[in-house]
Structure 1
Amino acid sequence: MKMKKVLALTLSACMSMGLMTGCGSSSAGSSSSGGSSDSKVIKIGVFEPTTGENGGGGFQEVLGIRYANKVHPTVKVGEDEYKIELVEVDNKSDKTEAVNAAQKLVSEKVSVVLGSYGSGVSIAAGQIFADAKIPAIGCSCTNPQVTQGNDFYFRVCFLDPFQGTVMANYATDNGAKTAAIITQLGDDYSSGLGSFFKTAFSDLGGSIVSEEQFQTNQTDFKAILTNIKAQNPDIIFAPSSITTAPLIIKQARELGITATIAAGDTWENSTIIENAGDSAEGVVLSTFFDEAEPANDEAAAFIEGFKTYLKENKQEEIIPAVSALGYDSYLAAIKAIENAGSTDTTAIRDALKDVSIDGVTGSISFDENGDANKDMAFIKTIEGGKFKFLTTTTVK
């Protein structure tokens, strides 16, 4: 939601499943709290990929949600305090599996769903949540189609039209006049973000000199990169998954391509640096959050506490933006439950429309489509084997 050199990434995502029993969460197939305590338990579904193409990023999002549950384990509903139980399902980065995972959450009678990492699986499951009248809050699913025509889907991240535009702004502000675009065929996130970048870059006077597509699970990109090299673009915009990114980066540099390589939020993952090595130097990306620039007191407290949590769980003490978004989606959910004063899912959906919180990634409220009112992105580069904050940017 693969060539031996990146197999370690998939194995890492699978090994991370060992943490799946932490923080009071349960899998969809397990038994829930029984007896009379059921009346004081409210379930929040966690709809994320922890395996498959996007398993690494999905797991980072899960960690943010689990930490939020640790910090805020209960919620007031009227005069009663309810324990919050996370019900986690793995949508396996696959649209068909996403439908099955969504149905499991419906059968578990969750009151809210959080997720998913990956717009395609979010879109695939959206109607199931709407039909069941269960509100869903996307963390990092940026494609506009996630919320379009779905009164039960919200999100705490910015959208791809915005993200594509700010990356085009960054490219032109830094002297790029020509660009090549590489997208994954059939992937809603990749194709959508590539299209929005193309429109924005062209509107700013830039020229798109090459557009290339690749198949899911493709590992050899030298043919399309050779085509791109012949056009000598100033920048290559290649929004793609964590597993694909290091292959594109390394093979481009092996062919002698010196153009800036850029992408969107999915590339903010340390495994890309690990697998691409020195070739990753100079890569540029847009993202939602930077720990060096806390937006408010909530963000400052999150940074300190989440780093401790990561250390306790033997995870790298770097805070990905998607973990912060996972935390914020949880905050939005419990605020809506409190404001609704009810466990009724439609009442929670109605309350979400007027929710306003100071989240880790900034102030969050929702527009008429359920999309977050956000107007700023963080631009980062890879320097010295680490992600380095460059600037913040908005739409011109």
Structure 2
Amino acid sequence: MRARQWAALALVTATLAAGCGSKGQASKGATGDTLRFGASLSLTGGLAREGGLTKEGYEVCQKAVNVKGGVQVGSKRLKLEIQYQDDTSKPDTSAQLIDQFNDKGVQLVLGPYGSATTEAAAAVVERNGQVMSDSSGAEDLIFTKGYRQTFAVLSSARQYAAVMVQALNESAVPKPTTVAFLSADDGFSMTVTQGGTDEARKLGFKVLATEYFPSGTTDVSSALTKIKPLKPDVIIGSVHLAEGIAIIKQSRELGISPSGGFAETVAPPTPDFASSLGKAADGVLGSTQWSSRTAGKDKWIGTADDYIKLFAGQYGGRKPEYHAAEATAACIAMVDAVEKAGSTDPDRVRDAFAALDESTFFGPLKFNSAGQNIAKTMEVMQVRNGKPVTVWPKAVAESPMVWPAMGNHS
């Protein structure tokens, strides 16, 4: 009897020890010689293209870090591993996957694609005490809720259209006087539109109209028909890829040709924009989080030019655009926070993240108390012969803005 009791006690003790050891080790995000990050991404669904570009950016970071020996955590160097799950472009699914990562002990998270999914993920991250490096959730609302565990490397949503208005004000000759906004009805795009209309009125432009359409639609003809008789000098779209392509394509079909041109968020820097539209894409302005002209350097990537070479070497000669670059930057920020913390404990990583103040190939990183990067500004590009060319700010421009724009869609 005594032998059986001792055997039972030993079994219980061993089970508890194994459970505590597993949880304790996993909760710090590291097992053996591996540091694990989790990423819930839109690999299928309406945002799959942008989600795929984000995944490529994370993969560039992983390779760059591991080629240089991995992440220094105290006296150990850990190889970086990123675990991916498909959120199917649905915010609720993203939230569930972040919870699953936490259950598996993965508490250091790389953000999903888009503001809606990032907002859903941030709420779970906060509840669980995880830490998230946000690569693409720009919606300002995310950062008004008092969250302390999420840090965004990118500029805020209000800048996306505002910088294009600023670029038109400084660089377009003759300067346009009237603008009309077309916007998807998701939170990110509506915030972008508000930032753009505020800036336009501040700089003396006349905003003729603001028309909304369902997010993700490929039919924007109703909104275009409403602004056609107003004949704006510039049509500015607060959109993602599918909607941005639809605006240009259906403007041609409806005979809408603004005297100046078109400007859009998100879509123009994406390779699919020019490949889908051909010559119709030429002259369209786009706001971008990063370009080959972005200043800054870090120990993992080097400069923007170095990033282009790394990306091209990893993906068959293709050049990166900003979705990939911001994802790589988010991953680097998390790596740097872990190294500065000297630990994978999420509380210590969180504090180190909040204190980051550094240069990267993506530009400067420095966060306010809400977790937004306050050191970074956006740039404006223009599609020329199917390629993005930086035209603003003038200090980093590859070429002056062409205005009225090429490919006026007449």
TM over 0.5: yes
The answer for the alignment partner of 1:21 in structure 2 is none
Amino acid at match of 2:36: K
Picking from 308, 321, 331, the partner of 2:313 is 308
For 1:127 and 1:360, locate their aligned partners in 2 and report how far apart those are by CA, in whole Å. Answer: 29
Number of equivalenced pairs:
354
Partner SS for 2:207: strand
Distance 1:267 1:146 in 2: 25
Separation (CA, whole Å) in 1 of partners of 2:50 and 2:114? 9
Shift of 1:56: 1.0
Whether the aligned pair in 1 keeps the contact of 2:184 and 2:216 (CA below 8 Å) is no
Q: Quick one: which amino acid aligns to residue 326 of structure 1?
A: A
Matches within 5 A, 1:1-396: 38-73=31-66, 74-148=70-144, 149-173=146-170, 174=172, 175-185=175-185, 187-259=186-258, 260-292=261-293, 295-296=296-297, 297-311=302-316, 317-392=318-393
How far has the Cα of 1:393 moved from its partner? Answer: 6.4
Amino acid in the other structure paired with 2:133 = I
- In structure 2, distance between residues paired with 1:302 and 1:158: 19
Helix, strand or coil at the partner of 1:243: helix
Partner residue, 1:12: none
Letter in 2 for 1:141: G
CA distance in 1, matches of 2:190, 2:367: 25
- Gaps of at least 5 residues in structure 2 are 1-25, 396-410
Q: What is the letter of the counterpart of residue 61 of structure 1?
A: T
CA-CA distance at 1:98 after TM superposition: 2.0
**Partner amino acid for 1:305?**
L
Instruction: Decide whether the 8 Å contact of 1:332 with 1:357 is kept in 2.
Output: no
Does the aligned pair in 1 maintain the 2:133–2:150 contact within 8 Å?
yes
Q: Deviations over 1:82-105 (max 9, x none)?
A: 222211122222222222222222
d(CA) in 2 for partners of 1:219 and 1:111? 37
Preserved CA contact (<8 Å) 1:285 1:380: yes
Offset from partner CA, 1:64-90 (integer Å, 9 cap, x none): 111111111221221122222211122
Secondary structure in 1 matching 2:155: coil
Q: Work out whether residues 218 and 242 of structure 2, in 8 Å CA contact, stay in contact via their aligned partners in 1.
A: no
Q: Which amino acid aligns with 2:165?
A: A
Partner Cα distance (1:63, 1:375) in 2: 22
The one-letter amino acid of 1:90's match is: D
1:290/1:389 contact within 8 Å kept: yes
Segment drifting more, 116-125 vs 256-265: 256-265
Q: 1:378 to 1:216 in 2, by over 3 A?
A: closer
Moved more, 290-299 or 375-384: 290-299
Q: TM-score normalised to the size of structure 1?
A: 0.84
Per the alignment, residue 7 of structure 1 pairs with none
Q: Deviations over 1:178-200 (max 9, x none)?
A: 11111112x12111101110111
Aligned to 2:18: none
Equivalent residues of 2:363, 2:376 under 8 A apart = no
**Structure 2 Cα separation of the partners of residues 348 and 135 of structure 1:** 8
Deviates most, 343-352 or 291-300: 291-300
Amino acid at match of 1:182: L
How far does the alpha carbon of each residue in 1:103-160 deviate from its partner, in whole angstroms, 9 at most, with x for none? 2222232231112321111112211001111111111221112233210110111112
Alpha-carbon separation, structure 2, partners of 1:339 and 1:206 = 46
Helix, strand or coil: the match of 1:265?
coil
In structure 1, what is the Cα distance between the partners aligned to 2:110 and 2:143? 14
SS at match of 2:307: helix
- Cα distance in 2 between the residues matched to 1:213 and 1:366: 32
- What is the distance in 1 between the residues matched to 2:236 and 2:99? 36
> In structure 2, what is the Cα distance between the partners aligned to 1:171 and 1:261?
11
Task: Quote the Cα distance in structure 1 between the aligned partners of 2:295 and 2:315.
Answer: 18
Unpaired runs of at least 5, structure 1: 1-32
1:220 Cα deviation after fit: 2.3
Measured in 1, the distance between the counterparts of 2:290 and 2:240 equals 19
The DSSP-based 3-state class of the residue aligned with 1:238 is strand
Rg larger in structure: 2
- What amino acid does structure 2 have at the position aligned with 1:180? A
* Secondary structure, aligned partner of 2:262: strand
Instruction: Give the Cα separation in 1 of the matches to 2:168 and 2:152.
Output: 27
- Identical-pair percentage: 23
Contact 1:377 1:393 in 2 (8 A): no
TM-align CA RMSD: 2.0
In structure 1, what residue type is equivalent to 2:89?
S
Report the Cα offset of residue 386 of structure 1: 1.7
